[in-house]
Amino acid sequence: MRIAVIGAGIGGLTVAAGLGADGHEAVVYERREDPGAVGAGLTLFGNAFGALDEIGLGERVREVSSDAVARMRAGQRAPSGDWLASLPPGAVPSLHSLHRAELHRVLQEALPWGSLRLGSHARVAASGEPVVTVDGVEEPFDLVVAADGLRSDARTCLGLDRGVRYAGCTAWRGVTSAGLDLRREAGETWGRGKIFGIVPLPDARVYWFATESTDAGRRADDEREALRARFGDWHAPIVSCIDATPAEAILRHDIHDLAALPASFVKGRTVLLGDAAHAMTPNLGQGAGQAIEDAATLVLLLRGVRRAGDLGSALARYSALRRKRTRLVWRQSRLMGRVAQASHPVSAALRDTLLRAAPAAAMSRGALRLHRWTAS
């Protein structure tokens, strides 16, 4: 089939690489001139690797990832450094971390030569007919995959949009310019309305993120100073992470998710994939993982399409499978965000007490269920 993919983010690149490997002709439209990744680090769990393995991309991504975090003590700490809950090294063996730019590079290298069209702002047909319009010129396809992110124009144009919601917090992200000794400890530190996360990258540099419950749209003249003011008295090596990151390399974004998932991820022969279908808060570290699961599911379902009539049922199955799975993760992410960002002293204290009392085995079992994906 000739398949148009709109958006060269993690979701679009993964599906295009998988489709290309299966012999489909995939054309990827990306509105940006520079397809390099904006962002810092990323964590991917076993579900993402299970999906990548199914479409032949797992090894390439493992090569640029590190499992160092899975070999550390990880969990949630209080700002003093006391552990609220932790899993022993090896409890989540599938957890890998990597730099987003590396993931984008590997996925782009897996695309058939010449399939990426940069600087191309693409529009879908409102009817779901498989046609893409760029600069007023229409191009017909057999299928269109819209992987155009949180504020997907395709979702709106298809009449599937149910709104975007501000999650009530802003997030900073950075990568240290040199390695730091983490003393074999990683994970998140939860304060009142604030979180700081530490993740080792493959080259010993550290990817960190911070969040704060606040109004949308606020910015500081110097974000590094703003972070020092908020996290300066938190446990080591939090301040070292901030200090070891060039101020101009610190990213800040307000966090949004979809207010409600679209009733279907498919209209006619146009499919929503990744954040366009189910943008979620980052609290479970699953947004990209779910985009990768979407991509593998679509690629595998299209392998079963032998006649034109099969395509409709494959797409209906894609929507049913992926909507069910992502709705659960989207909801859990939102719930986790509420708990982790608790700002009232009473609710934050209750949260900490419950976390201290939670048995590690039960937490690990819950995580394993989320982090498993098989080509059912």
Ligand X SMILES: Cc1cc2nc3c(=O)[nH]c(=O)nc-3n(C[C@H](O)[C@H](O)[C@H](O)COP(=O)(O)OP(=O)(O)OC[C@H]3O[C@@H](n4cnc5c(N)ncnc54)[C@H](O)[C@@H]3O)c2cc1C
Taking CB under 6 A as the rule, does residue 194 contact ligand X?
Answer: no
CB 144 within 8 A of CB 3: yes
Residue 155 DSSP SS3: helix
Indicate which single residue of 15, 291, 299, 329 sits in contact with ligand X (rule: CB under 6 A): 291
| 246's tokens | 């060039």
Is 86 or 286 the residue whose CB approaches ligand X more closely?
Answer: 286
CB 230 within 8 A of CB 194: yes
Indicate which single residue of 54, 102, 212, 275 sits in contact with ligand X (rule: CB under 6 A): 275
CB of 190: closest distance to ligand X in angstroms? 16
Indicate which single residue of 4, 19, 20, 29 sits in contact with ligand X (rule: CB under 6 A): 29
CB of 359: closest distance to ligand X in angstroms? 26
CB of 8: closest distance to ligand X in angstroms? 5
Is 180 or 288 the residue whose CB approaches ligand X more closely?
Answer: 288
Taking CB under 6 A as the rule, does residue 327 contact ligand X?
Answer: no
For the chain, give percent helix, strand, coil, nearest 5: 40, 25, 35
Indicate which single residue of 11, 75, 200, 337 sits in contact with ligand X (rule: CB under 6 A): 11
Taking CB under 6 A as the rule, does residue 10 contact ligand X?
Answer: yes
Provide the 10 A C-beta neighbour count for residue 344.
11
Residue 15 DSSP SS3: helix
CB of 169: closest distance to ligand X in angstroms? 10
Q: Which residues contact 65 (CB under 8 A, 6 or more apart)?
A: 44, 96, 97, 98, 202
Q: Which residue carries 């379902």 as its tokens?
A: 301
Which string of x and - marks every residue 56-75 that binds ligand X (by CB under 6 A)?
A: --------------------
As a whole number of angstroms, the distance between CA 128 and CA 37 comes to 29
- Interface with ligand X by CB under 6 A: which range of 187-195, 287-295, 312-320, 367-375? 287-295
- Interface with ligand X by CB under 6 A: which range of 1-9, 69-77, 78-86, 260-268? 1-9
Is 252 or 305 the residue whose CB approaches ligand X more closely?
Answer: 252
Q: Of 255, 88, 231, 90, which is closest to residue 164 (Cα–Cα)?
A: 255
| 112's tokens | 């058939």
Taking CB under 6 A as the rule, does residue 285 contact ligand X?
Answer: yes
As a whole number of angstroms, the distance between CA 109 and CA 341 comes to 38
To the nearest 10°, report the CA torsion of 102, 107, 108, 113: 150
As a whole number of angstroms, the distance between CA 109 and CA 60 comes to 10
Which string of x and - marks every residue 207-236 that binds ligand X (by CB under 6 A)?
A: --x---------------------------
Q: Which 100-139 residues touch ligand X, going by CB under 6 A?
A: 120-122
| 376's tokens | 């059912």
Residue 170 DSSP SS3: strand
Taking CB under 6 A as the rule, does residue 9 contact ligand X?
Answer: yes
- Interface with ligand X by CB under 6 A: which range of 101-109, 141-149, 180-188, 344-352? 141-149
Which residues make up the interface to ligand X (CB under 6 A)? Answer: 6-12, 29-32, 42-44, 120-122, 147-150, 153, 171, 173, 209, 253, 255, 274-275, 282, 285-289, 291
